[in-house]
Structure 1
Amino acid sequence: MKSASLFSTLSETLADVAQPQQRVSVLLPMPFKGPFDYLSPPDITLNPGDIVLVPLGRRQKTGVVWETSSDLPPDLAPPAEQKDRTDTSRLKEVAELLELPPLSADLRRFIDWVAAYTLTPPGMVMAMTLRLHMHGVTSAGTGWLPADTIPADLRMTPARQKVLDLLRKGLPQTTTDISAATGVSAGVVKGLADARALRAIKLEPECPVEAPDPGYRLPVLEAEQARATTALRQSVEKGGFSVTLLEGVTGSGKTEIYLEAIAACIEQGKQALILLPEIALSAQWTERFIRRFGVAPAIWHSDTGQRMRRLTWHATANGNASVVVGARSALFLPFEKLGLIVIDEEHETLYKQEEGVIYNARDMAIVRARLVQCPTVLVSATPSLETLVNVQSGRYRHLMLPSRHGGATMPETRIIDMRVHPPERGRFISPALTEELSATLARQEQAMLFLNRRGYAPLTLCRACGHRMECPHCTAWLVEHRARKRLCCHYCEYFEPVPVTCPACHEENTLTSIGPGIERITEEAHELFPDARILVMASDTLTSPTAITEAVTRISNREIDLIIGTQVVAKGWHFPYLTLVGIVDADLGLSGGDLRAGERTFQLLHQVAGRAGRASAPGRVLLQSYTPEHPVMSALLSGSQDRFMAQEAMQRQPGFWPPYGRLAALIISCEDAAKADAVANAFGRMAPYGEGIQVLGPTPAPVAVLRNRHRRRLLLRTKRTIALQPILHRWLDMVKPDRNVRIDIDIDPVSFL
């Protein structure tokens, strides 16, 4: 019997030794083509989604156990690579399994999908989930409680007694908390732990937000609002994937309606994600959320501190954050049970990320919703043509709010023909607009002047020789910022003091400012209305959410008479005492060859105009224009948005321009202009061709030099039925540029600079 027992034990031991280690693929947040293979530690079983620490060269890197998605559409899947997976002799071992929530299967599929669609290394997409928040992305740490049995030989001191007395209250605390509460050093806590007088307790991260109450303050909804609310709530309660366009005139209560969809999501025990085009909107939006639900949501954007990012990341991953509102990067948070995505101001081009991973957060949000199988709501007063075409084709449902909430009426719109009513010499505000501003301020109502141009003047030139002040690193004029006494490039970080002499002809005091920026309009307004309390709202004056909140509070408390702003003022603000909006240069944005110039200008000016008359007092909008006959001006004057968008569609459809075709831009850049030209010409010679396929270029980009890199562009255009990605894969394989030549791929470009 003893011999049999010994044999059994030996067999089990040999079986353990012979058992092969698990081979796992680990995706690293780096620009590699795909995951690397490693071996799991002998005593740990790893599963897809686990976050691990692995050796890479002489360093250790955080990565995620991966498996290639099998459900990528064939037109997105990159060409397969042959890989020998039988030889494990050279594989390194995973160093550590981190105590972090694993990335869910739907999030991993989403990362693979975005990478394949945008032709980006998957690790760089995955980095948006992990890399920015990796430092300290661990559990909250270790807490301490007294051991079940205190060692009899423990040497007791007053300091140790303080620690034990504190912890006997039953609440585990970290070493830092214990030191703060008792005044003892961390060494005292460590000594107790080493003596086995304390037992370690793993602490979960604290939740940065309280749970919102869907029944806290129910809204009073009018008939049209109630119907839209019912439809959205039903979508959430039913579940499954759907896309709904919530379109409504400015001031119609769109936010209040989709807040009820969020309430339905909370009632279902699921999480909601709300995307806003920029941080500036979060302050007033958060106030509305608090009024409805009693607490603030979790907030995610670039100005959020590192500690709050870690806590929000964890709260999202474990489901404690019911509602997250954020900028486009919030789309890559690890939601545990995502039940609703809302994209506010869906038409905004700010949803397009132009550097790094180039993607459109609006479009990718719909992809994530499809993978998770949850409803999506697109919200806008001026929907994009792409969205409207999807509505017409039946892909999206359409809910419409044609009138303002609470009896408020749409503002009256007038165009001031600047050819007939020009401003005084040296000024940019016409007498007709000045008169309306004076009357508005006399009634103690608020007014707004809008000009979508930062700084004092967009161009500085020499009256003697005609020299124009240009950025030495970019093909761009230097913009004067008089308040800071600088000439600045708005494409890179370059600036220089305003010179006294012309750098070309060396004449003194010959440099002059050409054209108006917002600072110049502010200067003019101070001269015209010396007693008015003026506030400037621009991205370089409102530099933080706190500054934005203070500005909104001052406007709401009627401490401001005249607001002067750039596009920041167009984004969903509700200023009840604002009755007049004057648009200084309504023609700005219509020039150039941008495909969407007319659509964007209409959307921007319509949104700005929508700030007027949102309460009981009627609103007025005055547009200064040198081309009042332009279709955009006609549409704004008549309010015929549908007719204008139909005309835009008719112009794009014959040439299969988006949304009736597909576009991809290749941007070749290099510090050496000749190399950039050579590579661009090589791509031009190898350009794909065929029925429904066209390549435009190569040509210098409109901003031909950016940060000292010469830029050349090619534009691939195909019919809607032809996928871009396989064509691009083959095309890119035909040209092998030098390392110092960079190729950027922009699928579905919205900017052509």
Structure 2
Amino acid sequence: MEHMPPLPESLRHFVDWVAAYGMNAPGMVLAIAMRVPAAGGIKPVTGWVRSEASMPAGFRLTPARQAVLDAVSEEQPHTVTELSERSGASAAVIRGLAQAGLLEERMIDRPSVQKRPDPDYHPPILSPNQAAVAEALVHSVQAQRFEVTLLEGVTGSGKTEVYFEAVAACLREGKQVLVLLPEIVLTAQWTSRFAARFGVEPAVWHSELGHKTRRETWCAVESGQTRVVVGARSALFLPFTDLGLVVVDEEHESTYKQEEGVLYHGRDMAIVRARMARAAIVLVSATPSMETLANVEQGRYRHEQLDARHGGAQLPEISLLDLREHGPERGLFLSPVLCDAIEKRLEAGEQAMLFLNRRGYAPLTLCRACGHRIQCPNCSAWMVEHRARRVFACHHCERVEPLKPVCPECGAEHSLVPIGPGIERIDEEVRARFPQAKLLSMASDTLTSPAAMAEAVGRIANNDVNLIIGTQIVAKGWHFPNLTLVGVVDSDLGLGGGDLRAAERTMQLLHQVAGRAGRGEKPGQVMLQSYVSDHPVMQALQHNDFQAFMEQEAAQRRPGFWPPYGRLAAVIVSAPKESHAEQLARHIALNAPEGEGIQVLGPAPAPLALLRGRYRFRLLLRTRRGIAVQPLLRRWLGDVKLSKEAKLEIDIDPVSFM
């Protein structure tokens, strides 16, 4: 008989809240929380003890039966398997004794998934600034009430060590801790740091776990045995019963937004979960999101800052390489100035990193003969050449095709040429330019699990590698003391298009990448290759003035009540036929809400107008901050009739505009 414990009341309320806020179907949200117990059931473990009943009349005590009775305990229950091993008797013999009343079934206490972390295992030595901030976070936890604190600190300032003191305080209070990370591949290095501080590794929660581990972790969280969980955004839906602290590390990361199925923002819903549990929550970042900074400015969040790198390390020197003056040779992508700098670092026995946020070999392939571009038939996107795998791949629908020897349009042979670089192409250039370098490429499609990432990180830490080429996966909070040079191949990537947050995201990403340099005793250097060196993002990076840049961004958004000074909701209409999708979108637009502080933009084809074989049109509802968008959307869209082929998706607080 399988047993499924009721979800804690706080989790049921949270599920309802996420459904109502995001206008998601409640059953779909509930399914996230119920996925583990519903799939496998929570199976109680039972065993057998010796009963006090007397021997039934006529019951024959064979040697096998006697061996079982000799092996069984009167207090500690043993499973059938254990009794068979101890006595040598079969399961049938054990069942016969149970039917005769000589054995009694008892529940076996489920062992804890993890040992309890020790808050006093290895306390750190903190600087005065770190100690003061840590004390403030500890007080927030000890108050045992809902409170949001932004922990802002320059890269390498020891933010993790500082919020670990809040974790320690929560453990001393006997409460549970949830730490969210934006990428599951980051868990390996984080858990190692946690184990060094607390003596054991925490429980981990993400999609790569096996079902047995997920079920055991779910049970241990629900019973209160597990005290600390680190995981991806889905860990918000674990059945915590006594949550005392939530930490959202790298809170600015857009990967916290769930973009498919149930749409929700992990950071924002973490704040809701903490509020419902009356728990403290710490948002951690070197480059906080504008939404978080606006809440600090309005007095909703506390603000703690770490202004200096830990252990006397200095912030790196950042320089701009204007490619109009110091451009690479024809057909190449690395400036000679950057190559010379790499050469010097390698000769000095140090490590260098090249960053390009673009997977594959080339983002576009075209035919020299007819100009045809290799495009995904299912999406409004170019197929990306992955030369190592010898395929073209669409990064939106995951369609894969073999590399073509001839142009599919005109049939010309050897006419297809790659346009622009991906990291595979930079890897090719680097191997030719630095044949003695010990290279490592890091991208989400080559390092697909925490174990693979842990192996790569170990090789860098052991200096088995001296030149790293990577996508945004290398920008996260890695600590490599011997890494002294970071070169950004294309700093302008991400600045184009009509995305509201393009400049903010580029600033945050490049600031994070730059923060990998010079974290040890040796000074660091960052070189940004750019064709627009006078852009505000580039100037802010060069002068290390994140605050001034964000103030400038805020000044641009306030007048038009763009987030975080207003509210947005996207309405995405899709259908297999373009005319059908457009007609439905125009019909919806005719009934758009009107009023003071309310505006509807569109409909217009989405930037990805074709995605996975569906044509997409977008409308954007924008309101002033004090106007809730959900009631407007319910009145507006409540009576819309959809055909079987059409879909209507609502994205509250959209992060992506694709």
TM-score interval w.r.t. the shorter chain? over 0.9
Kept after mapping to 2: 8 A contact 1:273/1:323: yes
More displaced, 109-118 or 405-414? 109-118
Bigger radius of gyration among the two:
1
1:99-114 map, 5 Å: 99-114=3-18
Aligned to 2:124: 219
Aligned to 2:224: 319
- 1:143 and 2:41 correspond: no
Distance 1:148 1:403, change over 3 A: same
* Structure 1: distance between partners of 2:647 and 2:100: 59
1:375-386 map, 5 Å: 375-386=280-291
Report the alpha carbon displacement of residue 121 of structure 1 after superposing the two structures with TM: 1.5
Aligned to 1:711: 616
Report the alpha carbon displacement of residue 284 of structure 1 after superposing the two structures with TM: 0.7
More displaced, 181-190 or 215-224? 181-190
- 1:691 and 2:596 correspond: yes
Report the alpha carbon displacement of residue 739 of structure 1 after superposing the two structures with TM: 2.5
- 1:664 and 2:569 correspond: yes
Instruction: Pick 1 or 2: higher relative contact order, CA cutoff 8 A, min separation 6.
Output: 2
Report the alpha carbon displacement of residue 161 of structure 1 after superposing the two structures with TM: 4.0
Aligned to 2:180: 275
Letter in 1 for 2:34: L
Aligned to 2:450: 545
Report the alpha carbon displacement of residue 741 of structure 1 after superposing the two structures with TM: 1.0
- 1:333 and 2:229 correspond: no
Aligned to 1:163: 68
Report the alpha carbon displacement of residue 163 of structure 1 after superposing the two structures with TM: 3.5
Q: 1:505 aligns with which of 410, 421, 428?
A: 410
Report the alpha carbon displacement of residue 137 of structure 1 after superposing the two structures with TM: 3.1
Q: Which runs of 5 or more structure 1 residues have no equivalent in the other structure? A: 1-95
| Secondary structure at 2:485 match in 1 | strand
Distance 1:163 1:514, change over 3 A: farther
Distance 1:402 1:196, change over 3 A: same
Q: Deviations over 1:309-354 (max 9, x none)?
A: 1111111111111111100000011101000100000000010000
Q: Deviations over 1:345-398 (max 9, x none)?
A: 000001000011100010011111111111110000000001001001100000
- 1:461 and 2:366 correspond: yes
Kept after mapping to 2: 8 A contact 1:346/1:378: yes
Q: Deviations over 1:567-599 (max 9, x none)?
A: 000110011111110100000000000000000
| Secondary structure at 1:433 match in 2 | helix
* Structure 2: distance between partners of 1:447 and 1:621: 10
Kept after mapping to 2: 8 A contact 1:139/1:204: no
* Structure 2: distance between partners of 1:425 and 1:474: 32
Distance 1:448 1:157, change over 3 A: farther
Aligned to 2:164: 259
- 1:653 and 2:566 correspond: no
* Structure 2: distance between partners of 1:469 and 1:161: 77
| Secondary structure at 1:288 match in 2 | helix
Q: Deviations over 1:437-487 (max 9, x none)?
A: 000000010111100000011011111001111111111110011011000
Distance 1:601 1:185, change over 3 A: farther
Kept after mapping to 2: 8 A contact 1:458/1:514: yes
| Secondary structure at 1:257 match in 2 | helix
- 1:129 and 2:45 correspond: no
Aligned to 2:22: 118
Letter in 2 for 1:621: V
Kept after mapping to 2: 8 A contact 1:206/1:311: no
Letter in 2 for 1:189: I
Count of aligned residue pairs for this structure pair:
657
Letter in 1 for 2:154: V
Q: Deviations over 1:402-442 (max 9, x none)?
A: 10000000000011000101111111111001000000000
TM-score normalised by structure 2 residue count: 0.98
Letter in 1 for 2:375: E
Kept after mapping to 1: 8 A contact 2:572/2:618: yes
Kept after mapping to 1: 8 A contact 2:571/2:649: yes
Letter in 1 for 2:653: D
Report the alpha carbon displacement of residue 147 of structure 1 after superposing the two structures with TM: 2.3
* Structure 1: distance between partners of 2:386 and 2:9: 50
- Cα RMSD (Å): 1.5
- 1:391 and 2:317 correspond: no
Report the alpha carbon displacement of residue 737 of structure 1 after superposing the two structures with TM: 1.3
- 1:560 and 2:465 correspond: yes
Q: Deviations over 1:583-625 (max 9, x none)?
A: 0000000000000000000000000000010010000000000
* Structure 2: distance between partners of 1:426 and 1:708: 35
| Secondary structure at 1:355 match in 2 | coil
* Structure 1: distance between partners of 2:217 and 2:449: 19
* Structure 1: distance between partners of 2:169 and 2:441: 39
* Structure 1: distance between partners of 2:334 and 2:654: 35
TM-score normalised by structure 1 residue count: 0.85
| Secondary structure at 1:308 match in 2 | helix
Report the alpha carbon displacement of residue 674 of structure 1 after superposing the two structures with TM: 2.1
Kept after mapping to 1: 8 A contact 2:51/2:74: no
| Secondary structure at 1:134 match in 2 | helix
- 1:721 and 2:658 correspond: no
Letter in 1 for 2:607: P
Report the alpha carbon displacement of residue 182 of structure 1 after superposing the two structures with TM: 5.4
| Secondary structure at 2:388 match in 1 | helix
Report the alpha carbon displacement of residue 112 of structure 1 after superposing the two structures with TM: 1.1
Aligned to 1:434: 339
Q: Which runs of 5 or more structure 2 residues have no equivalent in the other structure? A: none
- 1:410 and 2:310 correspond: no
* Structure 2: distance between partners of 1:652 and 1:176: 67
| Secondary structure at 1:414 match in 2 | strand
Kept after mapping to 1: 8 A contact 2:185/2:448: no
Report the alpha carbon displacement of residue 705 of structure 1 after superposing the two structures with TM: 1.1
Letter in 1 for 2:617: R
1:602-617 map, 5 Å: 602-617=507-522
Q: Which runs of 4+ in 1 moved over 4 A?
A: 179-185
* Structure 2: distance between partners of 1:576 and 1:591: 34
| Secondary structure at 1:455 match in 2 | coil
* Structure 2: distance between partners of 1:192 and 1:280: 51
Letter in 2 for 1:690: G
Kept after mapping to 2: 8 A contact 1:139/1:205: no
Letter in 2 for 1:224: N
Report the alpha carbon displacement of residue 185 of structure 1 after superposing the two structures with TM: 4.3
Report the alpha carbon displacement of residue 200 of structure 1 after superposing the two structures with TM: 1.1
- 1:236 and 2:141 correspond: yes
- 1:451 and 2:330 correspond: no
Q: 1:747 aligns with which of 623, 627, 652?
A: 652
* Structure 2: distance between partners of 1:623 and 1:473: 35
Aligned to 1:62: none
- 1:299 and 2:204 correspond: yes
Kept after mapping to 2: 8 A contact 1:301/1:327: yes
* Structure 2: distance between partners of 1:186 and 1:682: 69
* Structure 1: distance between partners of 2:54 and 2:403: 74
Aligned to 1:522: 427
| Secondary structure at 1:590 match in 2 | coil
Report the alpha carbon displacement of residue 175 of structure 1 after superposing the two structures with TM: 2.8
* Structure 2: distance between partners of 1:170 and 1:161: 18
Aligned to 1:247: 152
Report the alpha carbon displacement of residue 106 of structure 1 after superposing the two structures with TM: 1.8
Report the alpha carbon displacement of residue 671 of structure 1 after superposing the two structures with TM: 1.3
* Structure 2: distance between partners of 1:124 and 1:726: 20
Q: Deviations over 1:670-723 (max 9, x none)?
A: 112222112111111111111111111111111111111111111100000111
Identical pairs, percent:
59
* Structure 1: distance between partners of 2:358 and 2:146: 40
Report the alpha carbon displacement of residue 522 of structure 1 after superposing the two structures with TM: 0.7
* Structure 2: distance between partners of 1:264 and 1:705: 51
Report the alpha carbon displacement of residue 139 of structure 1 after superposing the two structures with TM: 3.6
Kept after mapping to 1: 8 A contact 2:342/2:352: yes
More displaced, 129-138 or 523-532? 129-138
Q: 1:592 aligns with which of 494, 497, 503?
A: 497
* Structure 1: distance between partners of 2:92 and 2:138: 56
Kept after mapping to 2: 8 A contact 1:162/1:182: yes
* Structure 2: distance between partners of 1:365 and 1:690: 32
